[in-house]
């Protein structure tokens, strides 16, 4: 848009208007700029309610930026533009990261409550929950595989 506005000067009485997919993407981006931070605040509030501690909620929530940076790196590596499908996949990836964090942090906390040493609790607790966490991640990955592989027009 910037390049066109710099190089193209329409005659008097004419104007340029962008529509179609471009207009939809711009509208979606504007909505997401409001909804994503609001949603993240809500998720953090739910985590604080779940754990009863801001420390444990922060530990769990730290997985979200890491997951999203991995999603961006994956899109860059595969040379795939950010699209609605990629956005939906990133949101799902964030949800899986939070769910995984809840399971892992609660497993460690249970071991600490049982009187285990800190080092033992953070290594043995999550190890006992590894299979369910991997199954959740596998189901999410397989569910979004068709969307990840079909990136052409109409996908």
Whether 149 and 86 have beta carbons less than 8 Å apart is answered as: no
pLDDT above 70: percentage of residues in the chain: 95
What does the pLDDT read at residue 48?
A: 92
CA–CA separation, 115 and 111 (whole Å): 7
Structure confidence by residue, pLDDT tens digits, 134-143: 888 888 778 7
- What's the predicted TM-score (pTM) here? 0.69
What does the pLDDT read at residue 125?
A: 82
Whether 126 and 107 have beta carbons less than 8 Å apart is answered as: yes
Residue 17 CB-density burial (10 A; 0-12 exposed, 13-18 middle, 19+ buried): exposed
Q: Residue ranges per domain, the chain? A: 37-149
**Given pLDDT bands bounded at 50, 70 and 90, which one contains residue 153?**
low
Residue 127 has pLDDT above 80, yes or no: yes
Cα-trace Rg, the chain? 21
Whether 68 and 89 have beta carbons less than 8 Å apart is answered as: no
Structure confidence by residue, pLDDT tens digits, 7-65: 888 888 888 888 887 788 788 778 878 887 888 888 899 999 988 888 889 999 988 88
Q: What is the mean pLDDT of the chain?
A: 84
Contacts of 132 (CB under 8 A, 6+ apart): 103
Higher per-residue confidence, 144 vs 155? 144
**Given pLDDT bands bounded at 50, 70 and 90, which one contains residue 148?**
low
Q: Quick one: CA dihedral 92, 96, 97, 101, positive or negative?
A: positive
Q: Is 154 left (phi over 0), alpha (psi -120 to 50) or beta?
A: left
């Amino acid at each position: 848009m910037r390049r066109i506005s710099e190089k193209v000067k329409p005659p008097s009485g004419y104007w340029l208007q962008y529509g179609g997919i471009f207009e939809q993407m711009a509208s979606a981006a504007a909505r997401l700029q409001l909804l994503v931070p609001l949603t993240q605040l809500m998720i953090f509030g739910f985590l604080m309610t779940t754990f009863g501690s801001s420390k444990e909620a922060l530990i769990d929530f730290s997985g979200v930026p890491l997951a999203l940076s991995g999603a961006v790196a994956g899109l860059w590596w595969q040379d795939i533009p950010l699209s609605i499908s990629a956005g939906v996949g990133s949101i799902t990836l964030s949800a899986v990261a939070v769910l995984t964090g809840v399971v892992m942090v609660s497993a460690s906390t249970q071991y600490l409550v049982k009187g285990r040493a800190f080092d033992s609790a953070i290594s043995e607790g999550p190890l006992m929950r590894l299979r369910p966490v991997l199954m959740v991640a596998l189901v999410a990955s397989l569910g979004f595989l068709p969307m990840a592989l079909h990136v052409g027009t109409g996908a």
